[in-house]
Chain A
Amino acid sequence: MPPIQRENYRAAARAALRDATLQRALADVQGRLGPGTAAAYRDLKEGPALRRQAHDLRMRAVENLDILLERLADRIEARGGHVHFAATAADAVAYALKVVRQHDVRRVVKGKSMVTEEIGLNAALEAEGLTVTETDLGEYIVQLAGEHPSHIIAPAIHKTRAQVGRLFAEKLGMAYTDDPAKLTWAARAALRQHFLNADLGVSGCNLACAETGHITTVSNEGNIRMATTLPRVHLAFMGMERVAARLEDHDILLRLLARGAAAQRMAGYVSYIGGPAAGDQADGPEAFHLVILDNGRSRILADARFREMLCCIRCAACLNVCPVYGKIGGHAYGATYSGPVGAVVTPLLSGVHRFADLYHGETLCGACKEACPVDIDLPRMLLELRAIQVAGDAAWEGRGASARERLFYGAGAFMTCHPALYRTAMGLASRARKVWSLNGALRRRTPVLAGWTRTRELPPVAATSFRKRWQKDPEDKSPRFGAPGGKR
């Protein structure tokens, strides 16, 4: 499966809205995790203000990425680990294939990793003839179903227990049940064999520490520990921005990550991995490879407007509060990252013009900023993206607004700059208002504005314009905006 790039936001969003099962699942995940995370921030001894401190700490790390990554790599290499700097997705995949050949790998188990989704790793490994098994329960379900994750930390949230039951009955040859516990234990038994037989464990990482030279993996299931302990080779991938400077920074970051991701005080399993197992250790992989991925991130780094996005630790807290994600779900975003984080990061990584629907689709309500454990101003960046798309920006391949849109706003601007013309036009509009309001259907059919008026009333122009009322009586406070019978 190649990385999904459907770019079919509107159709997919409409389909999601009609899907009653998905609507229930989304309401459920948001109803539980959204308020849970807010409560978990209040429970911090420092209070929600700790998010601001985390933001500063992340920003300072991002502003010194070159130094932090070099130190991280040096420390890991000193312990016998291999570090590969990959400028592009293709580069990262090529290195993975090299590792696989070098270690004669046949079977691969994977811990959950969005970055490997981003680079399309599974497809490449399967094309090489390898068996690749996702081991996070949600990812496993999605893989068996031939689908893609719809939520960063709850990948199979779009599937009901009955759907999972039918899927497991078909793929695992078990008797049908819709009991989540029995289904989980069936997957546990099936995946245990995969863990024991695998030659290579692939993981992402949630954080890294430059000072000590470790990557940090976080899970609740324990699958990442299994995948990084039992196979003889461990191959880890990290987006280059994930590194923190000092070990003590992880105190704040891990506490916030657990709260943002799952409203927990602490994640079930956190592991610091700094290289292959030492010769005198009784278990653990004999070889360790870390791929540090750029793949468009340095372009984000270079732009002061968007650099803040690299503070993101991919916890999915913003998905759990976003009114848009809450209705259309993850698949509609048509890319690896969904929700508010996806609406900013996907255009920046994969094309501001191509993914314009994503940032236009968000509401700018600000809920994502409130929920973000590192206080990223996502609404600001959604607006910046819109500005780039309208004004055009060579650095981001922003093409600027369409000729029709430019003409429309140009005419509006010209009119407001020429009072006589403005007065005449408004006078005409006011006289035409009776015809206009005769038939609502006429308004709705006005083709140029259909995108707006299909779901909204376009109020007719007022009988007396504001300017006239103002000239007559500046003290007039009567609520006479819009025409009689208008919505307001």
Chain B
Amino acid sequence: MGAIRKKRFLRTLRTALDRSVRPAPAFESLFPDKREAARAALLTSGRERSPGQRQQLLELLMARADPLNIQVQALPDRAAVTAAIVSLVQTSSTEWGSDKAVAAWSHTLLAALGLDAALSAIGVPLTVVAHNDRHWTRQRVIQSDVGITSADYCVADTATLVMKTRPGEARSVSLVPSIHVAVIGLDQIILDLEELYARLQDDLLKGGEGLGRCTTFISGPSKTADIELNMVHGAHGPRALHIFVITGDGT
């Protein structure tokens, strides 16, 4: 039934396009990869960034994040990140429940932060996403005030976090809690969307994981201007977004 419908639908298009060639040309021949050289150049320049250039990207990110209401903090090491998260959790107010709670991805960078101990010292429970129990994860994420994730990339020019979905890296952690914190290393900052797409395309062509079931770009906390064009933060998703950049060697 569906197959017949699809065939009929596509035949209508072929008639409309007056496509006489049969069989129809292949995707690869119609849309050849014309950007191979440009992409290679972008990838090389991205790999060979000097510490000074990385610092410049961090500064660009900060400049672009500010008007978007994203708080970027450069922190020297993991201990400083943990302290910053604890301080943020302590000073933030709960929006939906009465007790403060934090949810985090199951992720190597985050696991090394020692958040469980640091948060339990201030009496706040930490939920680390368990992919084998969807129901439990959902309930705990809904009850959390702060969601902690990492990211695949952070695009400086547009202040965009890029996140693929993997088993322990639930989509809801960056979405449902009132405050979203993303922890990244300095070397995850890239220049602009052109460089991002070059990397995504390269990964795709090399048979990498691609975009998978879901890949999300986040460029700021949730916002709306639907009432008389007044900008308000916190329409549905997080009302605040913090990016913590580890500038040291990640220890």
Binding site for B on A (CB under 8 A): 25, 28-29, 32, 45, 60, 63-71, 73, 79, 83-87, 135-138, 141, 154-157, 159-161, 164, 180-181, 183-185, 187-188, 191-192, 195-196, 210-212, 214, 220-223, 225-226, 229-230, 240, 245-248, 250-251, 254-255, 262, 265-278, 280-284, 292, 294, 298-299, 301-302
Which one of A63, A137, A246, A275 lies within 8 Å of B235 (CB-CB)? A137
Are A284 and B213 interface neighbours, CB within 8 A?
A: yes
Give Cα distance in the complex from A161 to B2, angstroms: 47
Are A32 and B229 interface neighbours, CB within 8 A?
A: yes
Assign chain B's interface to a size class. Answer: 35 or more
Q: Which residues of A contact B206 (CB under 8 A)?
A: none
A-B contact pairs, 8 of them (CB 8 A): A135-B236, A138-B224, A211-B204, A214-B215, A222-B238, A247-B204, A265-B158, A269-B219
Give Cα distance in the complex from A275 to B55, angstroms: 38
Give Cα distance in the complex from A267 to B10, angstroms: 32
3 pairs of A and B residues whose beta carbons are closest in the complex: A222-B237, A302-B16, A221-B235
Give Cα distance in the complex from A70 to B9, angstroms: 10
Binding site for A on B (CB under 8 A): 2, 5-6, 8-10, 12-19, 24-27, 30-31, 33, 35, 39, 64, 96, 129-134, 137-138, 141-142, 155, 157-160, 165-168, 170-172, 175-176, 192-194, 196-198, 200-201, 204, 210-230, 232, 234-238
Are A221 and B237 interface neighbours, CB within 8 A?
A: yes
Which one of A45, A66, A272 lies within 8 Å of B19 (CB-CB)? A66
Are A184 and B235 interface neighbours, CB within 8 A?
A: yes
Are B213 and A79 interface neighbours, CB within 8 A?
A: yes
Are A277 and B214 interface neighbours, CB within 8 A?
A: yes
Question: Do A274 and B235 form a contact, CB below 8 Å, given A154-B226, A211-B204, A283-B141?
Answer: no
Q: Which residues of A contact B129 (CB under 8 A)?
A: 282
Question: Do A282 and B130 form a contact, CB below 8 Å, given A221-B236, A222-B235, A265-B157?
Answer: yes
Are A282 and B204 interface neighbours, CB within 8 A?
A: no
Question: Do A87 and B8 form a contact, CB below 8 Å, given A63-B17, A282-B168, A283-B172?
Answer: yes
Smallest CB–CB gap between A129 and chain B, Å? 26
Give Cα distance in the complex from A199 to B237, angstroms: 19
Are B222 and A66 interface neighbours, CB within 8 A?
A: no
Q: Which residues of B contact A65 (CB under 8 A)?
A: 13, 17
Give Cα distance in the complex from A271 to B26, angstroms: 27
* Nearest-neighbor residue (CB-CB) of A278 within chain B: B213
Are B213 and A276 interface neighbours, CB within 8 A?
A: yes
* Nearest-neighbor residue (CB-CB) of B194 within chain A: A251
Smallest CB–CB gap between A305 and chain B, Å? 13
Q: Which residues of A contact B158 (CB under 8 A)?
A: 265-266
Are B217 and A137 interface neighbours, CB within 8 A?
A: no
Q: Which residues of A contact B170 (CB under 8 A)?
A: 281-283
Are A246 and B13 interface neighbours, CB within 8 A?
A: no
* Nearest-neighbor residue (CB-CB) of B67 within chain A: A265
Question: Do A284 and B165 form a contact, CB below 8 Å, given A268-B222, A274-B214?
Answer: yes
Are A268 and B211 interface neighbours, CB within 8 A?
A: no
* Nearest-neighbor residue (CB-CB) of A64 within chain B: B30
Are A298 and B13 interface neighbours, CB within 8 A?
A: yes
Are A210 and B137 interface neighbours, CB within 8 A?
A: no
Question: Do A180 and B230 form a contact, CB below 8 Å, given A274-B214, A284-B214?
Answer: yes
Smallest CB–CB gap between B220 and chain A, Å? 5
Smallest CB–CB gap between B166 and chain A, Å? 8
Give Cα distance in the complex from A280 to B18, angstroms: 45
Give Cα distance in the complex from A169 to B210, angstroms: 47
* Nearest-neighbor residue (CB-CB) of A187 within chain B: B235
Q: Which residues of B contact A69 (CB under 8 A)?
A: 10, 13
Give Cα distance in the complex from A302 to B11, angstroms: 12
Q: Which residues of B contact A195 (CB under 8 A)?
A: 236
* Nearest-neighbor residue (CB-CB) of B235 within chain A: A221
* Nearest-neighbor residue (CB-CB) of A222 within chain B: B237
User: Can you name 16 extra interface pairs (CB under 8 A) apart from A66-B17, A274-B211?
Assistant: A64-B17, A67-B26, A69-B10, A69-B13, A87-B8, A137-B226, A154-B229, A220-B223, A220-B225, A222-B236, A230-B172, A251-B194, A266-B158, A277-B165, A280-B167, A281-B131
Q: Which residues of B contact A226 (CB under 8 A)?
A: 175-176, 236-237
* Nearest-neighbor residue (CB-CB) of B168 within chain A: A282
Are B235 and A273 interface neighbours, CB within 8 A?
A: no
Q: Which residues of A contact B132 (CB under 8 A)?
A: 280
Are A272 and B131 interface neighbours, CB within 8 A?
A: no
Q: Which residues of A contact B2 (CB under 8 A)?
A: 84-85
Q: Which residues of B contact A265 (CB under 8 A)?
A: 64, 157-158, 219
Give Cα distance in the complex from A255 to B155, angstroms: 13
Are A85 and B9 interface neighbours, CB within 8 A?
A: yes
Are A283 and B138 interface neighbours, CB within 8 A?
A: yes
Smallest CB–CB gap between A110 and chain B, Å? 13
Give Cα distance in the complex from A270 to B237, angstroms: 13
Give Cα distance in the complex from A298 to B10, angstroms: 10
Which one of A137, A196, A210, A225 lies within 8 Å of B216 (CB-CB)? A225
Give Cα distance in the complex from A225 to B171, angstroms: 9
Give Cα distance in the complex from A228 to B228, angstroms: 27
Are B197 and A250 interface neighbours, CB within 8 A?
A: yes
Smallest CB–CB gap between A134 and chain B, Å? 11
Are B14 and A66 interface neighbours, CB within 8 A?
A: yes
Q: Which residues of A contact B235 (CB under 8 A)?
A: 137, 184, 187-188, 220-223
Q: Which residues of A contact B159 (CB under 8 A)?
A: 266
Q: Which residues of B contact A192 (CB under 8 A)?
A: 96, 236
In this complex, the member of B19, B142, B220 whose beta carbon has the largest number of chain A beta carbons within 10 angstroms is: B220
Q: Which residues of B contact A298 (CB under 8 A)?
A: 12-13, 15-16
Which one of B15, B201, B234 lies within 8 Å of A302 (CB-CB)? B15
* Nearest-neighbor residue (CB-CB) of A142 within chain B: B226
Q: Which residues of B contact A28 (CB under 8 A)?
A: 228-229
Smallest CB–CB gap between B251 and chain A, Å? 28
Are B131 and A282 interface neighbours, CB within 8 A?
A: yes
* Nearest-neighbor residue (CB-CB) of B5 within chain A: A85
In this complex, the member of B19, B170, B210, B236 whose beta carbon has the largest number of chain A beta carbons within 10 angstroms is: B236
Are A229 and B172 interface neighbours, CB within 8 A?
A: yes
Which one of B15, B18, B218, B227 lies within 8 Å of A161 (CB-CB)? B227
